[in-house]
Amino acid sequence: MESVLLENEGQKIFAVVHDAGKDSPVVVMFHGFTGNHIENRFIFAKMSRELEKIGISSIRFDFRGSGDSEGTFEEMTLSSEMSDAKVVTEYAKKRFSKKLGVLGLSMGGTVALLTAKDIVPDALCLWAPAAKNAEVFTKGGMPPSSNKNLDVGGLAISPKFIEEIMKFDAFSKARSYYGPVLILHGTEDPTVPFVHSKDLVKEFKNAELVPVEGANHTFTSIPWAKFVIDKTKNFFLDKF
């Protein structure tokens, strides 16, 4: 495991690389809204360790404005996260010579859907993806528009972020991705309704939805986390 600094638009992106060898496949992980490269209850770090055990490399990183990357959260938009996703996946393709997978959690799933056509991963795994992004954020209390920054749990959200959340349609992008997809979603998710993934899986050409029975948005129990990690590990092992 090593940390690296990548650059995008004059700012540094902090990333952690679990290197299983240059000839290994690699999974790049996109964290969620207000998340980071470790994610809730360290689930991304645990995922990386499990992948490394089976010969799959991974890269976990902080979108600019989050975690240890440069920039402020106020500057973060869907566009900036999409740009970061492309920079990190390009680095992954250059460093590792085999197949590329993408794992997106919540808003990381939004970003994965919005960039899949450009990144073209060999396999895509989505954890509780906020595919119907406008609906998720408005039901979460965000107004459909604003002319000033909002204070969301002590973090400043810009009018530009709100504008893009309402304008970009991640759900519709599923139709343009033809690779294999695994969606894992808690059936009792209070943040992104499970039914959203029931709708989303129908949009893909080659996708499976696996319910995580009783689970919340970020799988915060030992059995839920283990179930999600094991299913994800086996999915990438099979597709790579």
The distance of Cα 99 from the centroid of its chain, to the nearest Å, equals: 18
Confirm whether 230 is domain-assigned. yes
* Total domains in the fold of the chain: 1
Question: Which stretches within the chain are classed as H helix?
Answer: 43-53, 78-95, 107-119, 133-139, 159-167, 194-200, 222-239
Neighbours of 98 (CB within 10 A): 16
Write down the pLDDT at residue 153: 87
Provide the 3-class DSSP secondary structure of residue 59: strand
Q: Give a yes or no: residue 160 inside a domain.
A: no
Pair type for strands 57-61 and 26-30: parallel
Extract long-range pairs of 135-143: CB within 8 Å, 24+ residues apart. 135/196, 136/191, 136/192, 136/196, 137/162, 137/165, 137/166, 138/166, 140/191
Q: Is 33 contained in some domain?
A: yes
Are 222 and 42 in contact, with CB atoms under 8 Å apart?
no
| Residue spans of the chain under pLDDT 50 | none
CATH code, 120: 3.40.50.1820
Residue 200 lies in a domain: yes
In a domain, 151, yes or no: no
In a domain, 165, yes or no: no
Is residue 157 in some structural domain?
A: no
pTM for the full model? Answer: 0.97
Classify strands 155-157 and 150-152 as parallel, antiparallel or unpaired. antiparallel
Give pLDDT, residue 104.
98
What is the predicted pLDDT for the residue at 142?
Answer: 83
Question: Is residue 212 domain-resident?
Answer: yes
d(CA 136, CA 3): 33
The whole domain housing 6 covers 2-132+172-234
